[in-house]
Structure formats: structure tokens, C-alpha cells
Copies of this chain bind each other. A is one copy, B any other.
Amino acid sequence: MRAAIRLAEKGMETNSGGPFGAVVVKNGEIIAEGFNRVTSDNDPTAHAEIIAIREACKKLGTFQLDDCEIYTSCEPCPMCLGAIYWARPKKVYYACHREDAAAASFDDQFIYDELDLKIEDRKIEFVNLIRDEGLPLFEKWKAKMDKTEY
């Protein structure tokens, strides 16, 4: 965890982005690191956890982090939490709470609240269109013989 916190500090001090760091650990060894690079990379998805997960998967040659642990300097935002569920590590350690991030003007808590709202009540408008034309894709997927499930 101290490595994750050091990365968070490094990212902030180099003006890469906010004060967030994360590492992925496998068999007691750090296999990937990340710190927030949203503003330096012009990439709103470049959160510490996303960067560390992508690097770890690249290194392991897999899209799953079985038997890995993630250490992050702050409770993951909904985007990173989603990424963690897709990557499926066995455990996550975090230092600060989402409320700590919110108190420093980060949107984490706001986004958690929005996710809980019905789609029609959200701040960003979500509009449903031509579902009937999208649905057949899922039928094709279900019937597909050579697919890799994830």
C-alpha cells in the first residue's frame, strides 16, 4: 500500500493528474503500477487502477487478474470498480475512502449517487433508440461457436 501511496504522490507532484496510485500484486510481487494521468494524457479513463490493470493484463497476457491483488491509495470510483469486477482480482486493498476523495473535489461520490438513480433521472440525459436493431447481435453472440467468453 505504501508503494501505491508513493505513486499517488509522484503523479500529483509531476502534474500528471490527481493524487491517486495503484499497484497490482501477484505472488507477493508488484507486477504493475499506475498513477492518475487524466490531465497529462488527456484521457478521462487514465485512473491509477485502470492503468495498473491494463499493464498487469498486458504483462500476464490475459484479460483476467486471477490470483492477483490490487492495492489502491483510495477506494475506487465507479469506473475503476467496474474495471476491477471485469478483471476479477481476488482482493482489493484501499487506503482513503470515497468521501475523502469527494472532500477534495473529486466526483466519485456524485457518480455513485448518479448510478443509483433511474436512467431517466440522471444529470446526463440517456435516451433509448432502436433497441430492436441492436438485439439481434446478442442472439448472434449466443449462437456464435468460436467466441471467447469473458
> Bound complex: CA of A81 vs CA of B90, how far in Å?
23
B43 A141 Cβ-Cβ under 8 A: no
A92-123 at interface with B (beta carbon < 8 Å) = 92-97, 100-101, 103-105, 107, 110-112, 114-116, 119
CA distance A54 to B36 in the complex (A): 15
Point out residues on A near B: beta carbons under 8 Å. Answer: 1-2, 5, 8-9, 12, 15, 17-19, 38-39, 41-45, 50, 53-54, 57-58, 60-65, 71, 73-75, 77-97, 100-101, 103-105, 107, 110-112, 114-116, 119, 124-131, 133-135, 137-138, 140-142, 144, 146-150
A136 to chain B, nearest CB (A): 9
